[in-house]
Structure 1
Amino acid sequence: MVEEQNPPATTSGTSTDGWTTLIDTKWEIGGGIENYWCATKTFHEDLYINAFRPLGSTGTHHTLLLWASGSSPDSESVCGPTLDQSLLFASGVGTDDLVFPEGVALKIPAGTQLLLNLHLFNTTTDPLPGISGTLVKTLDPSEVKQEAEMIMPGAPGISVPPNSPGSVQGDCTFPGDATLMSVWPHMHKYGTHMRVTHQTGAGEVTLHDAPFSFTEQKNYPITPVQVLAGDRIHYECSYMNTTSKTLGFGTSSDDEMCFLGLYRYPKLASACQF
C-alpha cells in the first residue's frame, strides 16, 4: 500500500516554523488507478532555497520537482511520467526534510517556471482525493555562499528472475570539482539495499551502505566531501523479486528502478560524464 509521504501541511503562506509552500496541487483518482498529475508555476522573483519538505497525501507514490521547458501558461492536468536530469527535488513515500549546510542554497531565478510531476497510485476501491507539493525554507541573497543543484543518475538493465535476488550497478563521473552533501536512494517495493561509493585513483570511500525501504525513502546527509573532476560516484541497487515474473525497469510500483539523488555544490555544466 502507498502511504502518505508526510502529514498534510498548510498549502499557502508561511508556517510558524518558517516553511513556505513553493508549489502544490489538488488531485483525485479513481479506485485501483495508477496515473500521473502535473502542475506548473511561474516565479517572478529570485528565490534561494535552503531546505525542502515534501507534502504528499496518501496515494502519492513519488514527487518530482523540475525546471519546466517552454513558456506555456501555468496549469494543472493529467500527464505522463517525467524522467530527466532537470530536477530540483525528488521525494517518495516517507521522505523526510532535506536541509542544506549553512550558506548553501538552490536558486530559482525570476521568470522560471517549475513543473510538479506526481505519480499517484490508489490501492483502494474508492475515489481518492489529495494534495501534494513541496514546502521550502529560503535564504536572503546576502546569506548565500554556494549555489547547489540536484542530479539523479540511474542504472539501466534491471532484470531480476522470478523468486530470486538480483542487483544492478551504475556510475556518475563528475565533469568538474564539486562538494557532495547528501544522497537520496530511490527504488520501488522490491528494492532491498543500496551501496554508494566515491571512487578515485587512490581507492574508494563508502558514502552510503544501508537497507532500502519503499515506505521510508529518506534523505541521507553526509559530511560534505570534495569530489574532483573525473572521480566516480558508484552505486549498486539490490532487489528481492518475490513474484513469479521477471522484474524489470518501469514507472509502475510493480516494476523497479535504480536512481540515486545527489545534492552538490557548485552547479556544474552537466550532471555526469558517461
Structure 2
Amino acid sequence: MKRLVTILVLGAAACADESPSTPDNALELTMRATIPAGTEVEYCKFVEIPDAWVTKDTVEFTAGSHHVLVYQTSYTTIPTAKENGTVVDTSGVFDCSDGATSWKVTKLIGGSQNRDGAAILSFPDGIALHVGGIAMINVHYVNGSDAPLDTDVKIRFETIAAEDVVQEGDILFLYNPLISVPAGGTARAHMRCPVYADITIANAQSHMHARGTGYEARVDTNAPFYTNSEWESVPVKDYENLTVKAGSTLDYYCDYRNTTGRGIYQGPRSTDEMCMLIGSYYPADPRTANCLDPSGKVPGGDWVGGGSATCQATLGCLQNAGGALPAITDCMLAAKPEVAAPASAALRCFMTATNPLADCGPQIQACSAR
C-alpha cells in the first residue's frame, strides 16, 4: 500500500521554503506562541492543507498546552471575521478563547490531550479521513507561572493515496453541555447519543477537567467498553472489532467531585467542566459523530437526570429558566432518569421552535403525561 507522511507542524509562522531537512511530499507549518504569565487562553491558527486522506496523527506539544485540536472548516480562503461579523486579525496566531464554534468548523480531524500519549486519529488499513482546504488549529494553554511561557505544537498526519481508501472514517466528538456540580458536592453528567448507521469504533477516550473522578462509556445497557478515573494522562483504548449497530445508543457519563465553594457548570476553561466521548470510527456518519437528531441540524440524544422530578415538573422548571443554560441544566439534571427521553425531546423543541408553546404541542403532551 502506498503511503506518504504529511507533517503539519501547526502554527503561527508562514510555510518555510523547502530545505534539505524537509521530507518529500510533506507540508510543514509551525505554531509557536508566548503565553503571558498567570493566564489561561485559547489560541487558534488557520492553515491551508492539501487534499488528502489521513489515517493517523501523532502530536507533540510543550508544557502549558492542555489540548491541541485540528478542525476542518468550510472556508475556501482564510476568513477575517467570525460568524457574528466581528473582524479578527487571522494572519497569524489569534485569541479564540470564545471557542471554535465562532467559526465555520465542520468536523474534528485530529489532535490530542496527552503530551506523551496517544492522539485521537487512528484507523486500520484502508480506512481514512478526508481533509483539505482551510483547517483551524485550536490550542488551550494554561500558564500558572509568574513568567511568560514559550510554547510549540507539532502534529503529524500519516496519509494514504485516494485509490487505497476502502472506506471513509471520521471522529466521534460527543459533547454533553449539561453539567452542574454543586459547591462542595458530587454530581454526574449522563448522556445517550443515537447511532444512525452500523459503525466500528477503532479507539476511544474520555475528556474531563480537574473535578472528574470517574467515566464510563457503553453501547445501550451493555458492559462498558471504556472506563477511566483520570482527567490528565487520559488513556486511549484501541479496539479490533467494536461494532455498533444502527439504532443503538452510545451511553456515557462523567462523575465529579467539587471541593470549591462555588457551583461548577460546563465550559472551556479549566475552572469549568467538560464531559466528552471521543474516538476514531468508520464508516463516516456526521449525525452519529456529533450526536445530532435525524435531520442532522440540531442536537440529538437524551440527557439523563439523576433526581426525582417528573417530566411535567421538569417542563415547568424549563419554562421558568429564561433560556439560561445553567438554569436549564439544573432543571434537566433534577429529572428522574426514566423521563430522559420525553424531557430531552421537549428541550430540543424549545431550543429550536419559533413559538415553543404553539410548535411543541406533541412534545409537551408526551412529557406532561410522565
TM-score range, shorter chain: 0.7 to 0.9
Counterpart of 1:147 (choices 165, 168, 178) is 168
In the TM superposition, residue 164 of structure 1 has moved relative to its aligned partner by 2.2
Counterpart of 1:258 (choices 262, 275, 281) is 275
Inter-partner Cα distance in structure 1 for 2:232 and 2:258: 17
Q: Mapping of 1:27-46 within 5 angstroms?
A: 27-44=33-50, 46=51
Match of 1:174 in 2: 195
Indicate yes or no: 2:112 matched with 1:96.
no
In the TM superposition, residue 261 of structure 1 has moved relative to its aligned partner by 0.8
Greater displacement, 261-270 / 94-103: 94-103
Counterpart of 1:118 (choices 135, 139, 150) is 139
Go from structure 1 to structure 2 and tell me whether the alpha carbon gap of 1:15 and 1:221 turns closer, same or farther (over 3 Å shift): farther
Go from structure 1 to structure 2 and tell me whether the alpha carbon gap of 1:230 and 1:134 turns closer, same or farther (over 3 Å shift): same
Q: Mapping of 1:47-58 within 5 angstroms?
A: 47-58=52-63
Counterpart of 1:198 (choices 219, 229, 232) is 219
Structure richer in strand, relative to its length: 1
Which ranges in structure 1 are unaligned for 5 or more consecutive residues? 1-8
In the TM superposition, residue 90 of structure 1 has moved relative to its aligned partner by 3.5
Encode CA deviations 1:56-115: one digit per residue, 9 max, x unaligned: 111111112111232333732222322576211242144424532122211214xx2111
Contact 2:192-2:251 within 8 A present in 1 as well: yes
Indicate yes or no: 2:82 matched with 1:61.
no
In the TM superposition, residue 15 of structure 1 has moved relative to its aligned partner by 9.3
Contact 2:8-2:154 within 8 A present in 1 as well: no
Inter-partner Cα distance in structure 1 for 2:232 and 2:29: 23
Q: Secondary structure at the match of 2:175?
A: coil
User: How many percent identity over aligned positions?
Assistant: 25
Greater displacement, 147-156 / 115-124: 147-156
Contact 1:22-1:135 within 8 A present in 2 as well: no
Encode CA deviations 1:177-208: one digit per residue, 9 max, x unaligned: 22122112111111111100011xxx524211
Which ranges in structure 2 are unaligned for 5 or more consecutive residues? 1-6, 10-15, 79-89, 294-299, 301-370
Contact 1:40-1:68 within 8 A present in 2 as well: no
Contact 1:93-1:214 within 8 A present in 2 as well: no
Encode CA deviations 1:125-175: one digit per residue, 9 max, x unaligned: 101111114222222334322211012111232111222222110121012
In the TM superposition, residue 22 of structure 1 has moved relative to its aligned partner by 6.5
Q: Which amino acid aligns with 2:65?
A: T
Inter-partner Cα distance in structure 1 for 2:114 and 2:68: 9
Inter-partner Cα distance in structure 2 for 1:154 and 1:228: 21
RMSD, aligned α-carbons: 2.9
Q: Comparing both chains, which one has the higher relative contact order based on Cα–Cα distances under 8 Å and sequence gaps of 6 or more? A: 1
Q: Secondary structure at the match of 1:37?
A: strand
In the TM superposition, residue 214 of structure 1 has moved relative to its aligned partner by 2.7
Greater displacement, 220-229 / 165-174: 220-229
In the TM superposition, residue 240 of structure 1 has moved relative to its aligned partner by 1.5
Inter-partner Cα distance in structure 1 for 2:28 and 2:48: 10
Indicate yes or no: 2:77 matched with 1:72.
yes
Q: Secondary structure at the match of 2:100?
A: coil
Q: Which amino acid aligns with 2:255?
A: S
In the TM superposition, residue 250 of structure 1 has moved relative to its aligned partner by 1.4
Indicate yes or no: 2:146 matched with 1:107.
no
Q: How many residues align?
A: 259
Greater displacement, 90-99 / 159-168: 90-99
In the TM superposition, residue 26 of structure 1 has moved relative to its aligned partner by 0.9
Q: Secondary structure at the match of 1:66?
A: strand
Match of 2:159 in 1: 138
Contact 2:8-2:28 within 8 A present in 1 as well: no
Structure richer in helix, relative to its length: 2
Go from structure 1 to structure 2 and tell me whether the alpha carbon gap of 1:10 and 1:140 turns closer, same or farther (over 3 Å shift): closer
Go from structure 1 to structure 2 and tell me whether the alpha carbon gap of 1:113 and 1:85 turns closer, same or farther (over 3 Å shift): closer
Inter-partner Cα distance in structure 2 for 1:144 and 1:22: 24
Q: TM-score, normalised by structure 2?
A: 0.63
Go from structure 1 to structure 2 and tell me whether the alpha carbon gap of 1:15 and 1:234 turns closer, same or farther (over 3 Å shift): farther
Go from structure 1 to structure 2 and tell me whether the alpha carbon gap of 1:43 and 1:210 turns closer, same or farther (over 3 Å shift): closer
